Structure 1
């Protein structure tokens, strides 16, 4: 399968654009955002676990990165409530489940081989920083090479400068509505912009986004 597999092109999936698709495990469904491969794939997905569902024990040959969007995601290492960001490096393994149900944003097989850091950050108890313009708060989550990952909170009426994305930019809207000159992106929207793309983002009502930059190559 190839879905939004041309990284030189802008890609956009709003919440109602992509259906939920059953996974091989009962009670686990996926909304696919980009994908190269079949069941073992380089993939970006929103994954929904019904209460009491689980996924088989598996390894991460290219690493796993996820953000818990709703509920509590669990594995043999612990419980991860909504707002928790996790990176499981290449070669790690686990057997995930959810007692009461959860939804996560997950990226698979996208790690640099030298990026071997295990990361767990609960954004509910982390220290946010002032952003580059008034109205922005930033919580850095991870940095390796040119790749940077963060949560960014936009106060209502915040406008950012026009800027170009070296290495591309990927955004998932968690709350509110993110905007730029190309459109409006409500909560649940996923937007990927290629290397050297440019925009002037803002948010009239305020929003919270997960954002990754510098990871799509030149």
Structure 2
């Protein structure tokens, strides 16, 4: 299966255009943002857990990155409410579930094989945020190939202040606006190399998940 698989092109999924697709597990649905492969795929998705839904224990050979958007997401007896960022390295094993229901942003099979650390960051904790000019930034992950942050932008502030090699963003709160379109909370975009000064926070500001650097597509998946 190929969904937004050409990384040389801009890819957009606005929140108004979500198409929920049932997963193999009852009570769990997903919106496919990009995907290369079948059920075991390099994938970026929005995943919705109904209350009291779960997956059997399973492994992630290529790692898994999660941002909890609403509700509470659980791994075994560990519970993560909205605002938590999780990073499970390649080879990790877990049993995900949600007692109350949850919506999460998920990236699968997009980590370097050598990545080892298990990351858990509560982005609700003010101590995890730093002032950078007009914006506030919560640093989630950085390596030689990628940088992941959550950023609070003031009204009218651009997402990008310089050219990017490639990038993707998800609106977590507020709006992102361009010259001809407004992107509400939940909207996602992936961008090839270039400059994008016209992408700015809306009149009430915005919070965005932002990944820049190398968006990995491994040779066996291309």
For 2:183 and 2:160, locate their aligned partners in 1 and report how far apart those are by CA, in whole Å.
Answer: 18
Deviation (angstroms), 1:160:
5.8
User: Where does 1:162-201 land on structure 2 (aligned, <5 Å)?
Assistant: 162-166=161-165, 168-181=166-179, 183-194=181-192, 196-200=193-197, 201=199
Deviation (angstroms), 1:184:
2.3
For 1:40 and 1:33, locate their aligned partners in 2 and report how far apart those are by CA, in whole Å.
Answer: 15
| 1:23 aligned partner | 23
Count of residue pairs brought into register by the alignment = 214
| 2:139 aligned partner | 140
| 2:219 aligned partner | none
What do you get for the CA RMSD once the two structures are aligned? 1.7
Q: Counterpart of 1:16 in 2: which secondary structure?
A: helix
Deviation (angstroms), 1:77:
5.0
**TM-score, normalised to structure 2's length?**
0.91
Judge which range, 96-105 or 151-160, deviates more.
151-160
Q: Counterpart of 2:18 in 1: which secondary structure?
A: coil
For structure 2, the residue ranges without an aligned partner over 5 or more in a row are: 217-222
**TM-score, normalised to structure 1's length?**
0.93
Please tell me whether the aligned partners of residues 72 and 100 of structure 1 are also in contact (alpha carbons under 8 angstroms). yes
| 1:114 aligned partner | 114
- Superposed CA offset, 1:130-150 (max 9, x none): 12x42x110000001130000
Q: Counterpart of 1:80 in 2: which secondary structure?
A: strand
For 2:4 and 2:158, locate their aligned partners in 1 and report how far apart those are by CA, in whole Å.
Answer: 29
Please tell me whether the aligned partners of residues 5 and 34 of structure 1 are also in contact (alpha carbons under 8 angstroms). yes
| 1:60 aligned partner | 60
The runs of at least 4 aligned residues of structure 1 exceeding 6 Å deviation read: none
| 2:220 aligned partner | none
Please tell me whether the aligned partners of residues 59 and 94 of structure 1 are also in contact (alpha carbons under 8 angstroms). yes
User: Where does 1:83-98 land on structure 2 (aligned, <5 Å)?
Assistant: 83-98=83-98
For 1:143 and 1:121, locate their aligned partners in 2 and report how far apart those are by CA, in whole Å.
Answer: 13
Please tell me whether the aligned partners of residues 64 and 107 of structure 2 are also in contact (alpha carbons under 8 angstroms). yes
For structure 1, the residue ranges without an aligned partner over 5 or more in a row are: none
- Superposed CA offset, 1:88-126 (max 9, x none): 000001111100000000000000112221100010114
Please tell me whether the aligned partners of residues 68 and 102 of structure 2 are also in contact (alpha carbons under 8 angstroms). yes
Deviation (angstroms), 1:158:
2.5
Q: Counterpart of 1:129 in 2: which secondary structure?
A: strand
